[in-house]
Amino acid sequence: MRQDEIDITYENKTPTSKRLFARGSKLFAGGINHNVRLFKPYPFFSERATGRFIFDVDSNRYTDYWMGHWSLILGHSPKAVVRTLSEQLRKGTIYGTANGTSLELAELIQKLMPRAELLRFCSTGSEATMYAVRLARAKSHRRVIAKITGGWHGFNTTLMHSVNYPFHSPEGTGLIAEEEQFVESLPFNDLDSSLKILQSVIDDIACILLEPVLGGAGCITPDIDYLRGLQEFAHKNNILFVFDEIVTGFRLSIGGAIQKYGLQPDLFTLGKIVGGGMPIGVVCGMKEIMALADPTIETDNEIRCNIGGGTYSCNPMTMKAGLATIKYLDENKDEIYSKIDSLGAKARSGLTKIFSEANINTHVTGEGSLFLTHFLNEKVRTIKNAVDVALSDQKSLYRYHLALMALHQIFFLPGKMGAISYEHTEADVDRLLLATQAILDSGIISN
Ligand SMILES: Cc1ncc(COP(=O)(O)O)c(C=O)c1O
């Protein structure tokens, strides 16, 4: 089956989405409100979602592995969250004043992630990483931020750097070169080269900021010694070590990557899961750094770091949804993480076996409940960083994901990693494997 035949099947199944996308294209640049959600021929429009399923406006039901940008670890609309949000809805959606639920959520995060000595809630991950950068610069009195080549931390200005291949060109217009000179990019999983780069700017580095597992860049797991090496270098040289746990927090374990890998970042950011399906970002970490954000510090004494929170920060809907989710995760952690991690392992090993038996060179990456199939070629034999992903056979990956969606009602955002929720079952993973086999049998992807 050719690409255009897959497209035609998709278009036949999604005529209403096609019409809505045409209408949306007159309203939104590119027809969408998040660049990553755009795919060809057009994205379907969703009508509702429950458990592990998402339904489009043409009544197609997809088994969802995108799961709200990997946020929904308990599935769509879990009972505990629906109940608390229905109650809160009647009591108000935003007070614009302090509320007690924020204390309960913060205390629970602190119990599970003790390095969150102080926290600040905001409404997106992009804001949280922006505040982390500002705090790191405020604490260190230095300017340079070292990030990972391909690392994605949201659309905030500072970190919109080396995100897309070839990684050394500006990430679009509107960004100022003078500002970009204060960001250095490190090759993931290559400690020697990373340390050389860090050494070259050592006098001016504020922090090393990274995702412990590269998510948006292609589900790339870390060599633990790489993370340890960066942390050691940072701490030896008074550089802040900052984890962006917006994907990995509460995903890799109840204590996130910090607990899983036994590391000690000075600051870290959370988002996605901790909002329980509502908008959130959190910047948190060591008291001596976070305390710089205390607004009672005089502004003229050169200590205070002004970070925000925003109009909707800490709103009671998000706080309730987040609290219900994290409480549920905490109370059922053994069962939840062993289930989603074993389904993730089953998906990775099952896919690896199917592709290798079909003599198609792939590397299925991931950890715990996250996974992504990379199609290898003569340039890329294994996936260890974002350059490998960019040079791998992206066309086959898109075709594979589109075929899963159009022919088998299984939804991965094309090109992006999948996340398993507590609602997914063994049978879902079996169906994914069968669908993959059927796609290979029909010759949609070949060597
Ligand atoms: C690791 C990481 N950091 C930050 C962000 C930005 O979060 P948000 O989209 O909520 O602004 C994302 C979003 O996908 C992310 O994956």
pLDDT tens per residue across span 295-338: 999 877 789 999 999 999 999 999 999 999 999 999 999 999 99
What is the pLDDT at residue 179? 87
Distances (CA, A) of 110 to 114, 285, 286, 307, 357: 5, 10, 11, 20, 47
Q: Compute the distance from residue 154 Cα to the ligand 1 centre, in Å.
A: 5
Atom of ligand 1 nearest to the CA of 36: 14
Edge-to-edge strands, sheet with 144-148: 118-122, 281-285, 267-271, 240-244, 205-210, 144-148, 183-186
Select from 269, 272, 318 the residue to mutate for testing ligand 1; criterion: most ligand atoms less than 8 Å from CB.
Answer: 272
> Is the beta carbon of 244 within 6 A of some atom in ligand 1?
yes
Residues carrying CATH 3.40.640.10, the chain: 79-331
Q: Compute the distance from residue 124 Cα to the ligand 1 centre, in Å.
A: 7
Q: Are 211 and 151 within 8 A, CB to CB? A: yes
What is the pLDDT at residue 117? 98
Q: How confident is the model at residue 1 (pLDDT cuts 50, 70, 90)?
A: confident
3-state secondary structure of 170: coil
Considering the four listed CATH numbers 3.40.50.150, 3.40.50.2000, 3.90.1150.10, 1.50.10.20, the one that applies to the domain covering 3-76+333-441 is: 3.90.1150.10
79-331 classified as CATH 3.40.640.10: yes
> Is the beta carbon of 124 within 6 A of some atom in ligand 1?
yes
Q: How confident is the model at residue 3 (pLDDT cuts 50, 70, 90)?
A: confident
What is the pLDDT at residue 293? 97
pLDDT tens per residue across span 218-255: 999 999 999 999 999 999 999 999 999 999 999 999 99
> Is the beta carbon of 152 within 6 A of some atom in ligand 1?
yes
Residues carrying CATH 3.90.1150.10, the chain: 3-76+333-441
pLDDT tens per residue across span 105-126: 999 999 999 999 999 999 999 9
Cα torsion for 381, 387, 389, 394, to the nearest 10°?
Answer: -100
426-441 and 333-357 helices cross at what angle (nearest 10)? 10
pLDDT tens per residue across span 342-363: 999 999 999 999 999 999 999 9
Closest C-alpha to 125, from 144, 151, 104, 100:
151
> Is the beta carbon of 266 within 6 A of some atom in ligand 1?
no
